[in-house]
Amino acid sequence: MTTAEKLARVAETDTSFARRGANWVGKCLICNGPIAFDAVTGEGATLEHIRARTRGGTEEPENLAVVHDRCNGEKGRRWDPKRRRPDTEYDAFITRLLERRRQRWRAAAPSAPPAIRGRDSD
């Protein structure tokens, strides 16, 4: 799965996101500010692993988020392993983000474009 496909998968399972033409438009999981990205290329947003892979985070949609590049960078700097905070602080921070992701969770994409029927499908 490409990064763009993962971003789209996150948007599909996040109630703050809706399709607007070629873009997904919603809210950054970290700062809650408006964010949009190209549904095909993923351009405009960064794929975030809420719990870092180096900390045991998975590639499951529950652990993925759509965020601004600057927010991703900020999180990386703030939680840089070299200036690592106590694990309890990291866990509390990650738990807040995972909770926000769960609060926005939806099982299926809204108003997906109607499937294009083949000529033989009727």
For Zn ion, the binding residues (CB under 5 A) are: 28, 30-31, 33, 68, 71
Q: Which is nearer to Zn ion, 42 or 112 (CB)?
A: 42
Provide the minimum distance between the beta carbon of 112 and Zn ion in the complex, in angstroms, as a whole number.
26
Q: Which is nearer to Zn ion, 39 or 97 (CB)?
A: 97
Task: Please count the other Cβ atoms lying within 10 Å of the Cβ belonging to residue 15.
Answer: 12
Could you tell me which residues come within 8 angstroms of residue 73 by beta carbon, excluding any fewer than 6 positions away?
Answer: none
Measured distance CA(18)–CA(24) in Å, rounded: 6
Q: Which residues of the chain form beta strands (DSSP E)?
A: 18-20, 23-27, 34-38, 46-49, 64-67
Residue nearest to Zn ion (CB): 28
Query: If residue 66 lies in a helix (H) or strand (E), which one and from where to where?
Result: strand 64-67
Tokens of 85: 């905070």
Provide the minimum distance between the beta carbon of 33 and Zn ion in the complex, in angstroms, as a whole number.
5
Provide the minimum distance between the beta carbon of 65 and Zn ion in the complex, in angstroms, as a whole number.
10
Provide the minimum distance between the beta carbon of 69 and Zn ion in the complex, in angstroms, as a whole number.
9
Q: Which is nearer to Zn ion, 34 or 110 (CB)?
A: 34
